[in-house]
Amino acid sequence: MPSRRRLARVAAMQAVFEMQVRETDPAVSLAQNILEFGGSGHVDASFAEHLLVGVRKEWSAMREAIEAHAPEWPLDRMDSITRSILMIGAFELLYAKDAPPAVVMNEAIDIAREYGSDESAKFVNGVLNALAHRKNG
């Protein structure tokens, strides 16, 4: 069974995805996603909310950082799932201080494999690895 944090990342990723493809309130989407995963007993709901609020707040800065490390792939060219996963991972790497970079990258890669494609996972790995080195170097 996935950890409460893994489910929080997936719930937040899905809310970020829905925010991009539909005119829905991301907070409502997040609450629905958390319920679908079994509620706060199974999902770290406060962590999921922290991710969603942070991604929304820092969207422009993270967009610039991601595009700087993937110049051939502007965010608008990426599929919505990959873009959503990258935004969650970038927020954790650049702004959140509660998980080691290796954990953030592994979680994002695993989520990309599960919800995207093998290519998504490789792309997410490359971009987040570059962001992690930028942050630490």
Return the CATH number at 28: 1.10.940.10
Using CA atoms, how far apart are residues 54 and 76, in angstroms rounded to an integer?
Answer: 20
pLDDT in the model for residue 135:
54
pLDDT in the model for residue 69:
86
Using CA atoms, how far apart are residues 60 and 114, in angstroms rounded to an integer?
Answer: 26
Which residues constitute the domain of residue 57? Answer: 4-136
pTM comes to 0.92
Q: Residue 137's CB: how many other CB atoms inside 10 A?
A: 5
* DSSP-assigned letters across all residues of the chain: ---HHHHHHHHHHHHHHHHHHS---HHHHHHHHHHHTTSTTTS-HHHHHHHHHHHHHHHHHHHHHHHHH-TTS-GGGS-HHHHHHHHHHHHHHHT--SS-HHHHHHHHHHHHHHHS-HHHHHHHHHHHHHHHHHHH-
Q: CB–CB of 69/131 below 8 Å?
A: yes
Q: What is the pLDDT along the chain (137 residues), one digit of tens a residue?
A: 789 999 999 999 999 999 988 888 999 999 999 999 999 899 999 999 999 999 999 999 999 999 888 878 777 788 899 999 999 999 999 999 889 999 999 999 999 999 998 789 999 999 999 999 875 54
Domain count, the chain: 1
pLDDT in the model for residue 137:
45
pLDDT in the model for residue 85:
97
